[in-house]
Structure 1
Amino acid sequence: MSNRSPYARSRQKSCISCAEGKRRCNRQTPQCSRCLAQGLECTYLSAWSPQKRQNISRQLELSNFAEVWPESSPVSDEALSFWPLNDSSSDDTSFTTSWLNSMPSLLTIPSFPPAELYPETTVLDKWSTNQLLRNIKRYPQMFVSSRKTPFIHSRLYDAFLPDTIQDAFTALAAYGTKTSETEDLIFRILESKTTRLVAQDHHTSTMPQLLAAVHALMLFQIIQLFDGDIRQRSLAEQHMDTLRIWTFQLQVRAGELTPALTWQDWILAESARRTIIFAMLIEGVYLTLKTGSCPNVKAMSILPFTSETTLWDLSTSASWLAESDQLRSETVLYGDFTKGWQEGKVSRRLDGFQKLLLIPCLGERYREVLELDS
């Protein structure tokens, strides 16, 4: 293993804007994703003379720049600063824009990040809140009955079935059979499984292990936040910071993925992309019910997903190989998708997943188009 410091590695590769801003650079040329999204000048040291490179490198070294993200702190207030990104001056769009495996396809390259189109907080109307809540509450039993949700692909756990998912499946199946006589027992089981889950440390876990932990906690949270008593909601609130931290770690891991060459690689990547969106969406709905406003729409606008959702419904590797060459499989930013749909650039019929994404941004005024199936 190399003994060079993180800075010594990064100073040869990161662009100047990312280095000076102390932000992660994906080193894409001719412009990195962060500079592209922020409309910044993107220049690499390798493009300058040796003397100028040496001077700039020295300046960056003196500013203690290191291309390493700080570890998340379990302290509640600090965790809130990681996720969602509530500070409008934050440049952390590099986490998500570096995750795009191609340029956004719905719009021309924007000169500003889509987050600028959205306010710091959004007041969701009653219809939108009810639509989102009604569907989110279905996900635990949907997973039990079909091993899938809008953020868990039905084939994700074919080859790898971690203990966290086994425990979640067992607890959720029991929850689906609860009666007034067994409710207390089943909630105690949920508490026990959740306590064991949040005690895990996933800093050294593989991405599939981390993704499974996030899935299990999200499914537990849905029950405890939206279908539990006061005690269950209190316990779930205590675990929100853990979900934020794990989701933050998942963003970092996903940013390191290479373009998918196999169906299983694509399933893992797209499940991660959708999971991060839905983790924010679930918390946003809960905060809307509790405080009257949702602070997550702005942060969600810079998250990517695959715009061609037909690929999500394919059931075999052969069909994915055949269709991925014909269909647009590139990712697009959530905010760009919303803006593209409003401008008529998304002409195909919306499926349930796409409607769920548009509801928080567009609301009841588009009720006729966005109404979800019962």
Structure 2
Amino acid sequence: MAPPYRRSCLTCVKAKRRCEFSSGPCKRCTNKNLSCSLNRMDHHENAPPSDYATDDDIREAQWLATLTRGQNLDLDIQWPEFDQNIVPGEPPTDQTIDVDNIFTTTAEPPKNDTQSPSCIFYERVTYVSRQFRTYPAMFVKRGQNPFIHRFLYEQNTPLAISDAMSCCALYEGKNECNELLVFNDLSSKARNLVARNGFSMTTSDLLASTQALLLYQILRLFDGDIRLRAEAENAEPVMMAWAERLLGFSKQLPAIPEDGSSLDMEITTSWREWVCAESCRRTVLTCYMLQGIYSFLKFGYDNVAAQIYKLSFTAQARIWNAPSQYVWDEAIKKYKHFQVTIKQWDAAMEGAENDDLEELGIIILASMKGVNVCSWVGKANLGRWGLAKKCITGD
């Protein structure tokens, strides 16, 4: 039965003519021997019998708008073909995954107390990804995050870092009214950065560009906007190519001696040189970790674990957070450095206390040992490391 608000037959609607339909065939259809009916009789027999936009039509239009938002949309995205053999109830693994709600689950918890390996790893990965999402805001508020030292660009700030800072600050103020402007600014800055030739950059330029792109990737991968996420996925090979080149440079950069007691200050690298070298190591490690956690959330497996195990960094918080040459000198003399190769984490971190680690060390600890490290970090540090809800509620 036609809805009560339809006053024209389908033939007149299609011809865009005024219809005189009342209780029988209209005059136009009678004169031309046409079928006159309010019900849809064409090949779309199962479609909703209405000439007005349905809720599904509106939702589809909104979805298409998100795909075509912005003037410079890259339409060369290689979208996967729809898999007709998907079994209902299986978790989504294609490009339609909702990143914004990726941490929300409606599944009931298992009745037994033993978690499956996939649940255990998922719990760790989601914790790490949540912490990663705080890095852009952390950079705006502190001028530092686990892979950017606040004194690294004190004397000369590259354009890539300035752009990333302004973009992250703008993103922090995002709301429904300015969302389009924020997204367009983010896309434009990321696109201009990716267009640069990484092979012609100096080490310092490559470091700044990789750090800026890493911030853009975090914003775009976890925002939930499908266009931003597609752009980030397209830019991933560039980020990893830059990270590979930066890794080659970092192996040639100086590191502090393992034993601070035998330190010869005359031949030791300066604090600023070490900050640059350590920033390279941490940036490379964060690039690989971001690729790994996103791969796990999207496909269910980590595709870079073997590479991550070979990477290293200095885990001692007092050394990384040192604000001056003097404080850094004192820290490397007084405290154990904890220069860690990820594969040898347990041996390298022997004797570590909860105040020896900062953000990067904590998320690596959680990813390797599980998020149930509450008793080790101490009650006072639960909120600081994003563990308070997990430890108190068990969520």
TM class, shorter-chain normalised? 0.5 to 0.7
Q: Which amino acid aligns with 2:314?
A: T
Aligned length: 252
Largest Rg, 1 or 2:
2
Q: Residue deviations 1:88-124, cap 9 Å, x none?
A: xxxxxxxxxxxxxxxxxxxxxxxxxxxxxxxxx9886
CA gap 1:339/1:318 in 2 versus in 1, 3 angstroms: closer
Pick one of 341, 346, 349 that aligns with 2:351: 346
Residue number in structure 1 paired with 2:277: 269
Question: Are 1:175 and 1:186, in contact at CA under 8 Å, matched by a contact in 2?
Answer: yes
Whether 2:134 is the aligned partner of 1:127: answer: no
Q: Do 1:303 and 1:333's aligned partners in 2 also have CA atoms closer than 8 Å?
A: yes
**1:304–1:333 CA contact under 8 A, matched in 2:** yes
Instruction: Answer yes or no: is the 8 Å Cα contact 1:307–1:328 preserved in 2.
Output: no
Question: 2:149·2:275 contact (CA, 8 Å) conserved in 1?
Answer: yes
Supply the AA of the counterpart residue of 2:185.
Answer: I
1:250 aligns with 2:257: no
Residue 270 of structure 1 contacts residue 305 of structure 1 at CA under 8 Å; is this kept in 2?
A: yes
Match of 1:295 in 2: 303
CA distance in 1, matches of 2:218, 2:374: 25
For the structure 1 residues 209 and 122, does the alpha-carbon distance in structure 2 shift closer, same or farther, using more than 3 Å as the test? farther
Paired residue for 1:362?
Answer: 369
Tell me if structure 2 keeps the 8 A contact 1:202–1:210. Answer: yes
In the alignment, which residue of structure 1 is the partner of 2:53? none
Counterpart position of 2:92: none
After superposition, what is the alpha-carbon deviation per residue over 1:234-287, rounded to whole angstroms, capped at 9, x for unaligned?
110000000000000001111222446111001101111111111111111111
Q: Does 1:199 align with 2:195?
A: yes
How far 1:227 moved relative to its partner?
1.0
CA, structure 1 residues 123+214, in 2 after alignment: closer, same or farther (shift >3 Å)?
Answer: farther
Q: CA deviation at 1:224?
A: 0.4
Please give the secondary structure, in 2, of the residue aligned with 1:151.
coil
Residue type matched to 1:309 in 2?
A: A
Residue 204 of structure 1 deviates from its aligned partner by 2.8
By relative contact order (CA 8 Å, sep 6+), the higher-ranking structure is: 1
Secondary structure in structure 2 of the residue aligned to 1:125: helix
Q: Which runs of 5+ in 1 are unaligned?
A: 1-75, 77-120
> Is contact 1:297-1:360 (8 Å) kept?
no
For the residue of structure 2 that corresponds to 1:305, the secondary structure is strand
TM-score normalised over the length of structure 2 = 0.59
How far, CA to CA, are the matches of 1:233 and 1:306 in structure 2?
32
- Percent identity over paired residues: 28
Mark the CA change 1:369 to 1:295 in structure 2 (over 3 Å): closer, same or farther: farther
In 2, the alpha carbon distance for the partners of 1:274 and 1:130 equals 20
Matching residue of 2:139 = 143
Task: List per-residue Cα deviations over 1:13-53 (Å, max 9, x = no partner).
Answer: xxxxxxxxxxxxxxxxxxxxxxxxxxxxxxxxxxxxxxxxx
Relative to structure 1, the CA distance from residue 167 to residue 346 in structure 2 (aligned partners, 3 Å threshold; closer, same or farther) is same
For residue 364 of structure 1, report the CA deviation from its aligned partner.
Answer: 4.4
**CA-CA distance at 1:339 after TM superposition:** 4.8
Name the structure 1 match of 2:150. 154
User: Contact 1:198/1:242 (CA < 8 Å) preserved in 2?
Assistant: yes
Whole-Å Cα distance in 1 between the matches of residues 338 and 316 of structure 2? 8
Cα deviation, residue 233, structure 1: 0.6
C-alpha distance in structure 1 between counterparts of 2:162 and 2:336, whole Å: 34
Aligned amino acid, residue 211 of structure 2: H
Aligned amino acid, residue 147 of structure 1 = G
Distance 1:320 1:277 in 2: 22
Q: How does 1:108-119 map to 2 (within 5 A)?
A: none
Paired residues of 1:225 and 1:232 also in contact (CA < 8 A): yes
- Say if 1:124 and 1:294, in contact at 8 Å, map to a contact too: no
Contact 1:297-1:361 within 8 A present in 2 as well: no
User: Contact 1:128–1:363 at 8 Å: present in 2 too?
Assistant: yes
* Structure 2 partner of 1:172: 168
Q: Is it true that 1:284 corresponds to 2:292 in the alignment?
A: yes
- Please list the CA deviations of residues 284-341 of structure 1 after superposition, one character each: whole Å capped at 9, or x if unmatched: 1111110112122322111111132310121112111222233344733112124554
**Maintained 8 Å contact 1:247/1:279:** yes
CA distance in structure 1 between the aligned counterparts of 2:184 and 2:160, rounded to whole angstroms: 17
- Tell whether the 8 Å contact from 2:339 to 2:348 is kept in structure 1 after alignment: no
Q: Match of 1:307?
A: 315
- Could you tell me whether the CA contact under 8 Å between 1:207 and 1:253 is conserved in 2? yes
Q: Does the CA-based 8 Å contact 1:125-1:364 persist in structure 2?
A: no
Deviation string for 1:317-374 (max 9, x for gaps)? 2111222233344733112124554xxx234225333221122222246565466335
